Structure 1
Amino acid sequence: MNTAERFDLYLDHLSKGLGHADRHAGLRGYCTGLMLPLSRKSVEPMAARVDPMHASARHQALHHFVAKAEWSHEEMLRRVCQWVIPKMDCSQGGWWIIDDTGFPKKGRHSVGVARQYCGMLGKQDNCQVAVSISLASTQGSLPVAWQLYLPEDWAADAERRAKAGVPDEVRFATKTQIALERLRTLLAEGAPRHCVLADAGYGVDNAFRQALSDMGLLYAVGVTSAVVVWPPGVKPLPPEPYSGMGRPPVMPRRTPALQPMSVRALAMSLPSRAFQNVSWHEGTNETLSGRFAAVRVRHAGGNAGKARLRPEQWLLIEWPANDAEPSKYFLSTLPEETPINELVSVAHQRWRIERDYQDLKQDFGLGHYEGRGWRGFHHHAALSIAAYGFLMAERLVADKSVGSKKNFIARQVPALPENYIPRGSPARAAARGNLDHDTAPSTELSADRPTRPVSLLRPRKRKVTFVTQ
């Protein structure tokens, strides 16, 4: 079976979750458009490329499919998982990676737009932010849950909610609460209980870490330097004896000699022999390594250290040799016997979600949706992930084939009409300065490029080519 035939089977599998048969053409057209090397993957340029002789009608059909049709984006992601996840080999480890990503957006009426931190811009600005959960293995990763973060002012604005089609059941929730709810849903559906990875934006929240432990999940999450712990070998006195009135005391007692300390202060107090060089990944040009120390600590609650005594866990400290102080801190509930090289390897698996976002935004138009509504935002994201999922599955299968070579299977796609200028192209776009995150990636593959899904359908004259490896 060739790639084109597998793509047809994949779309047939996904289409079974759409409900009505008249939506199948929309699925095929939209996914095909997302896999083309267009500079802008919003509805109009995709419609013109997929069906140039009937661009206006196809534009309307695709717009209705993504923005109006009542199919479930959650069911779409579930079916993508059913196709891709069985091809992943988690025998050497599996991880849940929690993160969020931003999409610059102007105006007040696009759903969820507010002035907030946007990682894509590296600063506060008007944007939308979505929380995602990816399932990762040593071979790759795939987003399996996705939800827009709705800021408080949006959640409380009934008029804007109604215009954007925000479901009545959606209320304000923090990003950590969204992530935990999505994770609980995945586990209730039978998902495996892998270790959870997240950056300090999530890991610094003690309630988030406790919720993961309550779900029976291990974690390795980033924290800030201000997090307070009881250092190794230091254990506070038990709480005051219960007087018989009110709630029993739970806060450990401290003395001048028994005090918690910030993880930064603890790191600075460690002798140099506590640190060692550890490698965690074979990069393209060099092996990635760093200087680390790992000690057993107990979290001491908030910055004031006022909370009940917690079980011991790992504090992993990354301190580059030439820096004045540590650069990263992680708390982990991996077993006490876990060697430091494994701690480092697990903590640094989170980079995979950054590759997911990069590929989805650059190659699959994740941030190109131009609509304002809740449904369209989630539908477009699910379809971008679906297109990405097919190429991920192809790469996973190819990796298992010894001596597999790149193959090229052609599919007919009509050429663009002469002089057609899609909306959002540079010919019509406003000036954007030096910032352009939506430029189509180069189609040249370097000979020393690392193994990864080649996420483009490349047109050659009047044909489009699947590229897999």
Structure 2
Amino acid sequence: MLGSSHDIVLSELCAVLFASLPRSDQRRKGVEYLRGLLGAQGRKSVRNIARLIGGQATEQNLHHFISSSTWDWDPVRAALAHYVTAVAPPQAWVVQQTVIPKAGEHSVGVDRRFISSLGQVLNAQQAVGVWSASEEASMPVNWRLHLSRAWLDDVPRRSQASIPASVNTRTLGDCAVEAVLELTRSWGLPTLPVVMDVRELDGMKAVRRLRAAGVPFVVRINSTLPLSPAEGGPTGHGAEALPAHRIIGACRDRRRVVTWTDHGPEGAPHAALVGAVRVRTAAGAARTLRSPGRPGGVAGDDLLLLGAGTPGRRWPQELWLADVPHASPAQLFRLSLLTGRVERDFHEIADRTGVRDYTGRSFNGWHRHVTLASAAHAVAALAHGGGRSPRRVG
């Protein structure tokens, strides 16, 4: 049984979420599926959801509703994004890569993949989620499922999964950027800083696309990424391209202590050493990064290289590249902390509302399920007042 706070949020959200569904039976099944995601025990499979709601006939109906019905998940997802940003205004869009292990080989998009963050090869789907994130709460609002060329070029398998003809080869980085741009270009949501880890992606391609679109960003980079100190840089190497860690390492005298507190049950204080220096991309790339007419921010083609680490340990532990108008290094560091907020909420809420639990073969079925699982996450987060309070920078 859901609590009264869940029921209130669920009722309000469903009125907005399913307004685009033309039939009353579709709207009813949508509400049932959401209730099942929030209330079913264990894995949020159609069978477990149906067991909570009404048995075998319900299972068949819900399976059809998710995997092979005709309702369009895109306006439902857009409605979710507008609702979430209205009731819990975000500070940034945070992009998170999501690995979904699978036992078999028939689920749409599943491949044998080396997952560098885990250091192992897995049979898995890989997706990117865009999260509406603030220090108080984070909720997923858009998704892309990465499909390899092996899937897209296999005509029988592509047909069985009903992958639309419009879906073509994209890198994981392309998926991430396009999911972000859809929020503002197609759905009319505000342009906010994009926070993402590009160490396993084509990071500079992502930076170029975001800057060309006029989107501010804070992206985590590899320490070996070649950059050039901006004019007057502290390294003594002029405009020579150097690994990012060498450039930031020459700025130790610019470091400042930034403190924040976990306002959860622990309430533990934390501190970091943060330093920043203006940089440009390696020779030949500067022209592609120019974004004329953008207000504020660093000058011309310059970006801000940010280093952060724990006092008393080897510094820096993290490197970020940023272009956010008028933001100080401390504010940029604060934005980078939102990735931690998203990671906690993913494991504490999204995994419990079934975001990785779809077992069908249908491309549209995956998107319908993950859209409703994101809505269930929003209900759970908002019913608890935004969940655990975040770390705050002082």
Q: Please state which band the TM-score falls in when normalised by the shorter chain.
A: 0.7 to 0.9
Post-superposition offset of 1:234: 5.1
2:382 to 371, 383, 393: 393
Matched, 1:153 2:150: yes
Residue number in structure 2 paired with 1:73:
73
Q: 1:443 maps to which residue? A: none
Residue number in structure 1 paired with 2:162: 165
Query: TM-score with structure 1 length normalisation?
Result: 0.72
Question: How far apart are the structure 2 equivalents of 1:125 and 1:275?
Answer: 40
Tell me the equivalent position of 1:264.
245
Query: Is it true that 1:11 corresponds to 2:9 in the alignment?
Result: no
- Provide the rounded CA distance (Å) in 2 between the counterparts of 1:277 and 1:30: 48
CA contact (8 A) 1:103 1:118 kept: no
Counterpart position of 2:293: none
For the residues of structure 2 that align with 1:12 and 1:32, how far apart are their CA atoms? 14
Could you tell me which runs of 5 or more consecutive residues in structure 1 were left unpaired when the two chains were aligned: 236-255, 400-448, 453-469
- Of the candidates 337, 350, 354, which is equivalent to residue 343 of structure 2? 354
Shift of 1:385: 0.8
Contact 1:364/1:388 (8 A) holds in 2: yes
**1:366 counterpart letter in structure 2:** V
Contact 1:199-1:223 within 8 A present in 2 as well: yes
Q: Which residue does 2:193 correspond to in 1?
A: 195
300, 304, 307: which one aligns with 2:285? 307
Q: Distance in 1 between matches of 2:115 and 2:40?
A: 26
Mapping of 1:216-295 within 5 angstroms? Answer: 216-233=214-231, 258-271=239-252, 273-284=253-264, 285=266, 286-295=268-277
How well do the aligned residues superpose, as a CA RMSD in angstroms?
Answer: 2.6
Percent of aligned pairs with the same amino acid: 25
Residue 30 in 1 paired to residue 33 in 2? yes
Q: CA deviation at 1:112?
A: 0.5
**Match of 2:369?**
380
Q: Distance in 1 between matches of 2:348 and 2:75?
A: 22
C-alpha separation between the residues in 1 aligned to 2:15 and 2:328? 46
CA distances 1:31-90 after superposition (whole Å, capped 9, x unpaired): 111111511210112211222xxx111111111111111112222212222333211245
Give the SS at the match of 1:35.
helix
Cα distance change on mapping 1:87 and 1:308 into 2, 3 Å: closer
Between the two proteins, the alignment pairs up a number of residues equal to 369
Alignment of 1:184 onto 2:174: no
The TM-score, its normalising length taken from structure 2, stands at: 0.85
Please state whether the residue corresponding to 2:100 is helix, strand or coil: strand
Shift of 1:222: 0.4
Q: For structure 2, which runs of at least 5 residues remain unmatched after alignment?
A: 290-300
Change (3 A) 1:281 1:228: farther
Instruction: Find the counterpart in structure 1 of residue 292 from structure 2.
Output: none
The amino acid across from 2:19 in the alignment is K
1:386 Cα shift?
1.3
Q: Is the 8 A contact 2:308 2:319 kept in 1?
A: yes
Distance of 2:323 and 2:11 partners within structure 1: 43
Deviations 1:12-43 (Å, cap 9, x if unpaired)?
A: 33232222222123212211111115112101
Partner-residue secondary structure (3-state), 1:221: strand
Question: Is the Cα contact below 8 Å between 1:95 and 1:137 reproduced in 2?
Answer: yes
Structure 1, residues 234-255: CA drift from partner, whole Å, max 9, x if none? Answer: 58xxxxxxxxxxxxxxxxxxxx
Distance in 1 of aligned mates of 2:116 and 2:33: 27
Query: Which secondary structure does the structure 2 equivalent of 1:259 belong to?
Result: coil
Matched residue, 2:207: 209
